A and B are shown apart, each in its own frame.
Chain A
Amino acid sequence: MARQRIGYFENRQDPENICSRCRMCELMCAFHHHQVGNPRRGRIKVIALGQGEDIPVTCLNCEDPPCMNICPTGALYRKTADGMVQVNEDICIGCAMCLNVCPVGAITLDPVDGVASKCDLCQGEPQCVTYCPASVLKMTDAGQFARYRMKGFAKFLQTVREDQ
């Protein structure tokens, strides 16, 4: 199976199928991992750009992960099931070098424990996907995401051709 990640799929033609900034993903992520209410301990974050643009961001599960490569203790490793990079909290020393190198800022330091904190796909049943009311979060892989964008682009080309 190709390496899994959480992908953001919106339909800009449907006002109900776009991120609503309800931040349920953040809340349930933190609750699942720490049994508390504290979205800053969540491993997914909704970025508000203003003027109605809100997009959740989390780990892309890179093929060649800079975080895993640079970790000096081996605390970052890949799960066998879905290939997701995750943190062994017992080994992590909280040096934040993974944080330094992540290209999208998906890995953070837990504000309470101080160790590295990142998406681990919730052992197979991602809570953010289950609880998102807009249904914009789905488990996916890089190939699927590329196909999704290619489809969108193909539809766009179709409209261009029809205009002519």
Chain B
Amino acid sequence: MSFFAGGYAGQILYVDLTDGSIQKKPLDREFALKYIGGRGFSSRILLDELKPGIDPLSPDNLVILATGPLNGTPTPSASRLTVAAKSPLTGALGDSNSGGYWAPELKYAGFDAIVFDGRSSEPVYLWVEDGKAVLRSAKHLWGQKIHQTSELLKEEVGDDDIHVCAIGPGGENLVRYACVVTDEESVGGRTGVGAVLGSKLLKAVVLRGAQDVRIADPKRFKEAIDAYRETLVGEVWTETLRRLGTPNLVAHRQKLGIWGAKNFQRATIDGWEKISGEAFREKFLLKVMGCMGCMVRCRRYSAIREGPLAPTYTKGPEYDTINALGAKTYVTDPAIILRAHHLCDEYGIDEQTAGSSIAMAMELYERGILKKDQVDGVELVFGNGEALLHFIEKIPFRKGFGDLLAEGTKIMGQQLNADYYAIHVKGLEVDASDPRSLPTRALTYAVATRGSCHLRGFPYIDEFIKPEEAMAFFGTPSVSDLHGLEGKGKMVAWSENWVTLADLMGVCKFAWYRSRSFPMLIKRGLELMNDIFVATTGLPMNSEELYRCGERVYNVEKMFNLREGFGRESDYPPLRFFKEETPDGPAKGAKLNQEEYDRLLDEYYEARGWDKKTGIPTPEKLRSLGLP
């Protein structure tokens, strides 16, 4: 085991499920300094050890559960886990990020990451306790939903105080967007990593740890986290998150008219108040909850205690829940949305892709492209909450029309000759918002290395950066012009490298990246984070080098995607955003302009040091990052 003064456990667990062998490999110091942790480790290992072109559901795929050096310490909100693999949904790099308590527990159990290879001949789970790991039969767990899986494991182990990362029937049946769920509530949703576990017959990874996560300089550490916490007190965004959770964004979407409702046929929602953050708080909220070490506490714990869908107790909803299961499908009954959300968590499927796939099917049905007998005889129209619930129950088992829905929108588009209505980038469905009136967001979604994702970059900088700050930092004051496009490519590129840091450290972005002050993004996001990292690990590091680590990881991910055949043409938003104008609301008439977008993408590639035609990083850029 490699010795680190703090932060890192110093070893990575390698499990070959084909022959059942388990190895502990020391974490190399140089590797840690270059890639930090979390997404950095998983992306690099995937680039190094996967051959291009493999089937993501074959034994050749790897699935990696990775933590960062700050997981397990009292760093604010250092709760995040990365689960990564080649995605069965997109064929590109896939990773999911989730909170809760599992990532810290992996550190207490003595490991920085676990890498799974091969395929087991029978269902198994991995039991990890205090530096030791063993594979055990999961035959009795196969077929169980998430909650029951946990209960059975607790009984078997004889201990309630364990932490379970499991797949449900969704993962077992290789739904392409199956997810992993830790501690029955934290979902690693996107890109279908759960299906990779399912293809390996790996039902769960169970942890119990009592080992120290050392801290190299405790005095400096306490000063650093206290200073960090100070910057979060009174931060408007964190106050709003505590009060309403991410559902606070419902009002924002309506105000700007940027919903992707009815599969992006409507930009505003009639009756949106029924599914707003306020509505959910009033009707269903039991209490707010926080992940490990979090002072923001954006999670909701909700309950339906009356009516036909009672009793339903669940963590959530999130904004993305309401967007995918409510806005896209135009189901504005909050109880149905909450119930659908709970089912997705119990069966282990990504609610965002599930909602998007059902919404796409609804549009195809209304257009007559799908006929009633093809969709199990269900009246699959927008707003039909019963239909939504019906198919959420079918998808995890690939029953009836659920079998095609389980493939995701890209394959649905291919199989039904309806690509135009599949709203995705690289195969990952567009979430967050309709970016037709916000081209910078469109760029952010389109170039994200795991497919359409709003969490890879931070395009909101132009909402609050001052012209002087824009000049000093980006070399052009136009970055502060909200409606202009000049300098935005550069801005998005910088923001991506910067945002990656949160995923490397294992901290939650909601307690890290939000501010109305650009200098605070640097102070909290880079400088204070660096202080905490140095105090924890005792390793030599500074803000510039840390930023470079973010850039390095992002380039590694780009290289992975390029190798899998995702070139410049895959960095474009869906055709619909170029062809159709925003149909209603405050942004009515807006759509993306091909030339403008091309220029934006050019500027982005240039800022990144990537070839404009192919997107391939230039040799100079790679050398400057110490790559390949």
Contacts and interface: CB of A to CB of B under 8 A. Distances in A.
Please determine if A and B sit in direct contact within the complex, based on CB atoms under 8 angstroms apart: yes
Interface of A: 15-16, 18, 20-24, 27-28, 31, 34-41, 51-52, 111-112, 131, 133-134
5 contacts: A15-B288, A16-B288, A20-B289, A133-B290, A133-B294
Contacts of A35: 215, 218
A22 B290 contact: yes
A55 to B, nearest CB: 12
Contacts of A134: 297
A38 B213 contact: yes
B72 interface: yes
B288 A34 contact: no
Nearest to A16: B288
A36 B288 contact: no
A40 B287 CA distance: 25
A48 B291 CA distance: 13
B293 A36 contact: no
Nearest to A27: B74
B116 to A, nearest CB: 26
A37 B212 contact: yes
B301 A37 contact: no
A23 B422 CA distance: 42
Interface of B: 72-74, 101, 104, 107-108, 209-215, 218, 222, 242-243, 281, 285-297, 299, 301, 303, 313
Looking at A16, A112, A133, A134, the one whose CB has the most chain B CB atoms below 10 A away is A133
B215 A36 contact: yes
A38 B295 contact: no
A126 to B, nearest CB: 15
Contacts of B218: 31, 35
Contacts of B286: 15, 52
Nearest to A29: B74
B212 A34 contact: yes
Contacts of A38: 72, 108, 210-213
Contact of A40 (B210, B243, B281): B210
Nearest to A34: B212
A35 B285 CA distance: 36
Contacts of A27: 73-74, 292-293
Given A16-B242, A37-B107, A40-B210, 6 more contacts: A31-B73, A34-B212, A35-B218, A37-B104, A41-B212, A51-B313
A28 B108 CA distance: 15
A40 B288 contact: no
Given A16-B297, A111-B210, A37 B74 contact: yes
Contacts of A40: 108, 209-210
Contacts of B288: 15-16, 18, 20
Nearest to B313: A51
Nearest to A54: B289
B5 to A, nearest CB: 12
A156 B290 CA distance: 30
Given A37-B104, A51-B313, A22 B297 contact: yes
A52 B185 CA distance: 11
Most buried by B among A15, A28, A34, A41: A15
A31 B288 CA distance: 25
A66 B211 CA distance: 29
A144 B364 CA distance: 65
B212 A22 contact: no
Contacts of B213: 36-38
A22 B72 CA distance: 13
Contact of A22 (B211, B215, B293, B301): B293
B108 A24 contact: no
A86 B339 CA distance: 48
A51 B312 CA distance: 9
A38 to B, nearest CB: 5
A37 B213 CA distance: 5
Contacts of A22: 289-295, 297
Contacts of B104: 37, 39
B481 to A, nearest CB: 38
Nearest to A19: B287
Nearest to B218: A35
A20 B293 CA distance: 10
B613 to A, nearest CB: 48
Contacts of B292: 22-23, 27
Nearest to A45: B161
